[in-house]
Amino acid sequence: MHLLIDNSNTRTKFALDKNGELSAWRAIIPTSELSPQRLTSTLADLAFTQVTLCSVVPRCAEMMEAFFKVPTHRVSHQSRLPISIDYPQPEQIGADRLANSSAAFLTYQGPVIGIDFGTAVTFDVVSGNGAYLGGVIAPGTASLRDYLHQKTALLPAITLEEPRSAIGRSTEDAMQVGAVIGYRGLIREILSALTTELNGELTVVATGGDAALISAGLPAIHHLDPDLTLRGIQAIGQQNL
């Protein structure tokens, strides 16, 4: 059994690769609560023989590399990947972006754009011949959801959901319109610019916490793939362990 770890800024997800297939088992620990003790309690009943770790939080990655006593591979630009890298400074590419791009190309072929709706929203572009070209990093939906509440005296905290109307009939409704419909505008414009620059048809796949909500109003997003990052980690681990 092969343990897969997706260590992001907000949450750390765990999954198992059983003989080349993702199992139904999942576990999530808030990244702020990650510790050897939490790892021990979360993974106590599992028997795994190797680990692939995809991390964008260096202190957590170092802690987990020291914690595991089985062969452990940490995803980076130096990993053997299902894609090549055509990027001036490959050491700057986040491990999660390499995982997303690998899974997107393996699943949908290229050219393909993977969008990950996480703490930040990232767009990653893979060419038709499987080369990572670069992408876009923009504020995530949480920044729109939380910023006004944190920086103003009267605006409330909200949970993102589909607005009932483009005209907000309450403060909460007005904030939903800005955060959801406004955010779709940001995604639409970035995709339009990328599509123009790529000069042709391409596939767009979305993953991450708010992917389903935001994608619902964007026909330019062709596929919703909740396990995209985990499948990329799985593929990279299989090539490196």
The residues annotated with a catalytic role in the active site are 96
Distance CA 70, CA 188 (A): 44
In sequence order, the 6+-apart residues with CB closer than 8 A to the CB of 52 are 2, 3, 4, 5, 72, 73, 75, 233, 234, 236, 237, 240, 241
Task: Supply the DSSP symbol for 86.
Answer: -
Which of 206, 236, 205 is closest to 98 using CA atoms? Answer: 236
Nearest 10 degrees: CA dihedral of 85, 90, 93, 94? 100
Element (H, E) at 113: strand 112-117
Q: Where are the alpha helices (DSSP H) in the chain?
A: 36-43, 58-67, 95-108, 141-151, 171-176, 182-198, 211-215, 228-240
Which of 91, 90, 131, 96 is closest to 110 using CA atoms? Answer: 131
In sequence order, the 6+-apart residues with CB closer than 8 A to the CB of 170 are none
ω into residue 30 within 30 of 0, thus cis?
Answer: no
Report the interhelical angle of 95-108 vs 228-240 (nearest 10°): 100
